[in-house]
Copies of this chain bind each other. A is one copy, B any other.
Amino acid sequence: MRLDYPGFDFKITARDPDSCARTAVLSTPHGTIETPNYIFCGTKATVKNLSPAQLLEARTDIILSNTYHLMLQPGADLIAKMGGLHSFMNWGGPMLTDSGGFQVFSLGEGTMANEIKGRSGKGHDNRNLLEISEEGCVFRSYIDGKKIALTPEGAMEIQRKLGADLLMQFDECTPYHVDKEYTARSMEMSLRWGDRCLAEFARHHNGKQAVYGIVQGGIYRDLRRISAEYTGDRPFFGTAIGGCLGGSDEEMADVVDGSAPYIHPHRPVHFLGIGRIRDVFTFVRMGIDTFDCVIPTRLARHGTAFMRGVKGETINLKNAQYRDDPSPLDESLGLASSAQFSKAYIHHLLKANENLASQILAQHNIATLNRLMREVREAIPKGRLEALEREWLDR
């Protein structure tokens, strides 16, 4: 099977002399971005608390939306009728959608991060997940309790209707607390699901979308290798790393490090659901091109701001020390809002439960991560990643 992606391109432009880090240019029908880059989560067709204009002010290049949420509300057909996701949410740049699998298989909203990081119970402890079989899965809508089937073909159809540039194959997001045998069977099923996704994708391919395969295999290097090689042999445009990566930063790094050599070397590599500042430094070095994570906006809602050059990456504006701190949130960022509002004011907004705090901090966090990615892209060709990491993480 062969698939061409005429409206797409991925060109590696430079490599780090000391690691597998690389810079590249990723072209899509909705624009070209430089990588490494960060894909911000617009789960329900909106990056929480921010308009597209505010995203652009924060120098955002690319966002994603979640198939699982959108298929339930407002529905893929409605979005297609409104001209697709770009037009519906008024975002003109590159966009990615996931396949819905992650949310279906995870334990429901709010615990996905725990699940991926192995901090939850045994296996699929998800009462809304009614059935997994070779065909696909059946789950209960969190909105109205309706039974809904999702198959590889269905996931591709929905993503076609949503109309994002970059699509994800449907996969089983294997949980942490299962044994190797389950993980192997699950990974193999995901590979077959990947083939079905490609077949379905090919049937409607019009050059406006491109699909990523997903490498599963849990924490097992040998399984990750099989998955990476199989996926690399199929005509996916890109490769994503998904599923459980272990319970610690070290285990996660070890799993990715072990899979990296077997991932297709000329395709963009996306790391699903990971994206603290230290993760960016760790995984860019292993050849990751794009990251996504909900934490920039989620932490914002809890009063936490990513900061350059701060131990632990973040400060929490709810802390009493900021009550009477007149200094601006961040004058160095080049974002009007972060330069204008004082820490004391944001502290007050948080204490008063005012949404403007989430808006200010979400835009700040996104602008900060965009700055991080710009500086990472500058550092790679110069072999300056290590120095940059020390600057960012105050090490």
Contact = CB atoms under 8 A, between A and B. Distances in A.
Contacts of A342: 82, 88
Interface stretch (A203-211, A305-313, A345-353): A345-353
Given A73-B352, A354-B46, A88 B344 contact: yes
Nearest to A360: B51
Contact of A355 (B48, B69, B88, B90): B48
Interface stretch (A126-134, A168-176, A333-341): A333-341
Given A341-B90, A344-B88, A349 B82 contact: no
A38 to B, nearest CB: 20
B88 A345 contact: yes
A356 interface: yes
A354 B44 contact: yes
Nearest to A81: B324
A388 interface: no
A49 B356 contact: yes
A337 B74 contact: no
A234 B344 CA distance: 39
A333 to B, nearest CB: 16
A83 B326 CA distance: 9
A89 B345 CA distance: 7
B51 A348 contact: no
A140 interface: no
Contacts of A355: 48-49, 355, 358-359
Closest 4 CB pairs of A and B: A44-B352, A74-B348, A46-B356, A46-B354
9 contacts: A44-B348, A45-B349, A46-B349, A46-B356, A48-B356, A53-B337, A69-B352, A73-B352, A78-B348
Given A69-B352, A90-B345, 7 more contacts: A45-B348, A46-B354, A50-B356, A53-B336, A73-B348, A74-B344, A88-B345
